[in-house]
Chains A and B, each alone.
Chain A
Amino acid sequence: MILGLETSCDETAAALVTADGEVRANVVASQAELHARYGGVVPEVASRRHLELVAPVVERALADAGAGLADVDAVAVTRGPGLIGALLVGLSAAKTLAWSRRLPLVPVDHLHGHVASLFLEPGSVEPPFLCLLATGGHTLLLDVQDRAGYRVVGTTLDDAAGEAFDKGARLLGLGYPGGAAIDRLARAGDPEAFSLPVARVPGFDFSFSGLKTALVYAVRALEAGELERRRADLAASYQRAIVRALVGRTRAAAEALGAQKVAVVGGVASNSELRESLADAELAPLALCTDNAAMIASAARFATAIPFPDYLALDAYASAA
């Protein structure tokens, strides 16, 4: 079995996955409530919490799988991209666990991890496919030809889609994290009530910063006290604009690349309107959309393992090279 660890942002996660991609345990300790009082993820707060949570989360994953360290064949861990201080907590723990039993260590690219959430059983998705990866930190279109990697086809030029949801929720007074709150409220609103434009940028890239500004102006234009009454309409219109941009670019890229299959992964893949709009796509299971360690262990099945003891001085990286 592969023991996976993930601490790149505000989830502390450990999982056990078999070589065949069967999930034996998948434990995620979310810090969302902790960061709500700051209106977003605070790196130092996240790192401090990871230190407290890693060992309990690993022990819980082993217990859930009815396994011990002796059953672990390799340790997989997110090496980057992410918050450097947060990554180093998980990486240090993973290196130490692997060292203690002379196991190989598999450093995993976080984005490859999200893609590999599609390679878990049951229902593993066979490449090639075009993959929309949308999270709080990234929005990418990836050409996935095999399970070992991907080629970036498009990316966001400013905010990530999940970030746009969070900022929009903050403007509407819905708190943090904002994606689920907007999704919920949007169901009661009219998505055509407000015209919120999404910038059209060349190629297959995305831009969401203008949309956020458009929402600021739409809120400002309201009469005093009107926000309460129009909040659902604003949420619905804002969500519609983000989903339209994501779906439009994904469809265009799929057509241009001749992709027969489209997949969606990452936290934003749990958005109900996006799932309905791309109903014909392969959608990551809801439990595997937000950051988790099962996807990291899954990616490790197709990544290069570093044999003991060559990983003892391995460092993390904050951003993709």
Chain B
Amino acid sequence: MTILAFDTATDVATVAVVRDGEVLAERRSRAIRILHEIESALAEAGVERGAVERLAVGTGPGSYTGLRMGLITARTLAFALGVPAAGVSTLDALAAGSPGATPVIDARRGEIFTLQDGQPSVLAPEDLPVVPGSLYVGDGAVRYRGVLEDRGGTVPGEESEAHVPWARHHAALAADFGSAERLEPLYLRVPDAEVAVQEGRLRI
């Protein structure tokens, strides 16, 4: 089984070509270059695009724009190549790369995305229950290192690979392959304008 996996939800986008559990190629880049990296990774792996059998894509949470670029690429690839796809949470992929660690993604606006009781959630870094001595990974952990370390948490160095949601983990975690149309992004927040309407602040 040859799986093409990628994730563009965070500032570091990743791509992996995995066959029967063996990582044939893996790259990191930025969301806008994802297709270029897919092309390069397939070439490096010696896999023709027509030989890709499954897609695994990161569903976030993360940057809304980056997330959408990955999902539209997955949906379009699934359509053009006629292959099934599966979504994998970017938080789950990060956690898979550092067993025992808590994944923390920068949600901007002073907030973080993390897993709480296994569920993706958005909260202020100060509200994360930090367990002294435990490990925190992801670009959110790097950004709020002070907040986490002040309360006894451990955050690997900025250059650590533990902060990257490597796409090999998406390939490993992917299950329930099917139509790419049902893959939904994990935004975890409604648009500001919707909040304004609901709170009656927006007058039309």
Stretch of B70-78, B88-96, B104-112, B113-121 with 4 or more beta carbons under 8 angstroms from chain A: B70-78
B193 lies within 8 A of A96 (CB): no
Residues 178-197 of B at the A interface (beta carbon under 8 Å): 180-181, 185, 187, 191-194, 197
User: Would you call A136 an interface residue if the criterion is a C-beta within 8 Å of the partner chain's C-beta atoms?
Assistant: no
Q: A48-B68, A55-B79 are in contact. List 12 more A-B contacts (CB 8 A).
A: A37-B204, A38-B197, A54-B75, A56-B181, A69-B80, A84-B65, A85-B68, A92-B69, A92-B72, A93-B72, A101-B80, A315-B32
B65 lies within 8 A of A85 (CB): yes
> A23-59, CB under 8 A of B: which get 1 and which 0?
0000000000000011100101101101100111011
Is the interface on chain B under 10, 10 to 19, 20 to 34, or 35 or more residues?
A: 20 to 34
* In the A-B complex, the 8 residue pairs with the closest CB atoms: A100-B80, A39-B204, A312-B36, A96-B76, A42-B193, A44-B191, A313-B33, A313-B36
The DSSP consensus for interface residues of chain A is helix
- Give Cα distance in the complex from A7 to B68, angstroms: 13
B68 lies within 8 A of A170 (CB): no
Chain A proximity of B67: nearest CB distance (Å): 9
Residues 150-204 of B at the A interface (beta carbon under 8 Å): 180-181, 185, 187, 191-194, 197, 202-204
User: Would you call B144 an interface residue if the criterion is a C-beta within 8 Å of the partner chain's C-beta atoms?
Assistant: no
Q: A85, A97, A99, A175: which contacts B64 (Cβ < 8 A)?
A: A85
A45 lies within 8 A of B69 (CB): no
Chain A proximity of B186: nearest CB distance (Å): 12
With A55-B181, A312-B39 known as contacts, the answer to whether A96 contacts B80 (CB < 8 A) is yes
User: Would you call B123 an interface residue if the criterion is a C-beta within 8 Å of the partner chain's C-beta atoms?
Assistant: no
User: Would you call A249 an interface residue if the criterion is a C-beta within 8 Å of the partner chain's C-beta atoms?
Assistant: no
| Contacting residues, chain A, for B75 (C-beta < 8 A) | 51, 54-55, 93
Chain B proximity of A141: nearest CB distance (Å): 32
* Smallest CB gap from B187: residue in A: A48
User: Would you call A89 an interface residue if the criterion is a C-beta within 8 Å of the partner chain's C-beta atoms?
Assistant: yes
- Give Cα distance in the complex from A58 to B79, angstroms: 10
User: Would you call B124 an interface residue if the criterion is a C-beta within 8 Å of the partner chain's C-beta atoms?
Assistant: no
* Smallest CB gap from A37: residue in B: B197
User: Would you call A309 an interface residue if the criterion is a C-beta within 8 Å of the partner chain's C-beta atoms?
Assistant: yes
A96 lies within 8 A of B77 (CB): yes
User: Would you call A208 an interface residue if the criterion is a C-beta within 8 Å of the partner chain's C-beta atoms?
Assistant: no
B197 lies within 8 A of A47 (CB): no
